[in-house]
Amino acid sequence: MKKGFTLIELLVVIAIVAVLAVAVVLVLNPAELLRQGRDATRLSDMGTLSGAIALYMSDVTTPSLGTVTSCYVYNAVAPTLPANCDGRHAVTRTTAWDADRTTDGNGWIPINLSAVSVGSPLSILPIDPAHSAVTGGQFYSYANTATTWEIDANLESTKFATQEGVDGGDKPALYEVGNDPGLDI
């Protein structure tokens, strides 16, 4: 008698493996896991930028936070954005584009972090991991007054989206960090 598997036995095993694969994909939801990974990067970037600017503000004798009438975003190709940075900042501002990620005041955040006494705390300015600076896209934005500043990001995963409404800011659909009381620039 020949030893081996019949066609029906092989089809049953393949069907079981397919059902298990579909169940694993539905349970794990790889698209949501990718969104969560990008959001973790965004939260880390916001904390890093916040710490670097706080160090700059406390270390530099006469700090300059940039032009008060601008909302800054990184964008290599400069598509059109609304004047208020896609609704991210309360005051209508002109949009400043910059394709530079340097920390010497010429980057998309116009703060010379190199002026810190121990050197710049960042090697380059971070950008959104799914960067798309078009209306409704994913990007970081920066705005300031003479003495206060705010950086905004849009979180996309369901796990981290709840942090947008409890960050102390005035925009429940954005994650905001900064030293502006109420984060309402």
Tokens representing 127?
Answer: 């950008």
Which pLDDT belongs to residue 119?
92
Give the global pTM. 0.82
Q: Across the chain, what does the average pLDDT equal?
A: 86
For residues 91 and 83, the answer to whether their CB atoms sit within 8 Å is no
Alpha helix (H) ranges present in the chain?
Answer: 7-28, 30-59
Which pLDDT belongs to residue 49?
96
Structural domain boundaries in the chain: 32-180
Scanning the structure block, which residue is given the tokens 């940039």? 66
Q: Model confidence at 86, in pLDDT bands (50, 70, 90)?
A: confident
Tokens representing 98?
Answer: 């910059």
99, 77, 95, 97: which is closest to 85 by C-alpha? 95
Which pLDDT belongs to residue 115?
95
Q: Model confidence at 66, in pLDDT bands (50, 70, 90)?
A: confident
Q: Model confidence at 91, in pLDDT bands (50, 70, 90)?
A: low
Digit-coded pLDDT (tens) for 112-154: 999 999 999 999 999 999 887 665 678 888 999 888 999 999 8
Mean pLDDT of the 78-93 span: 70
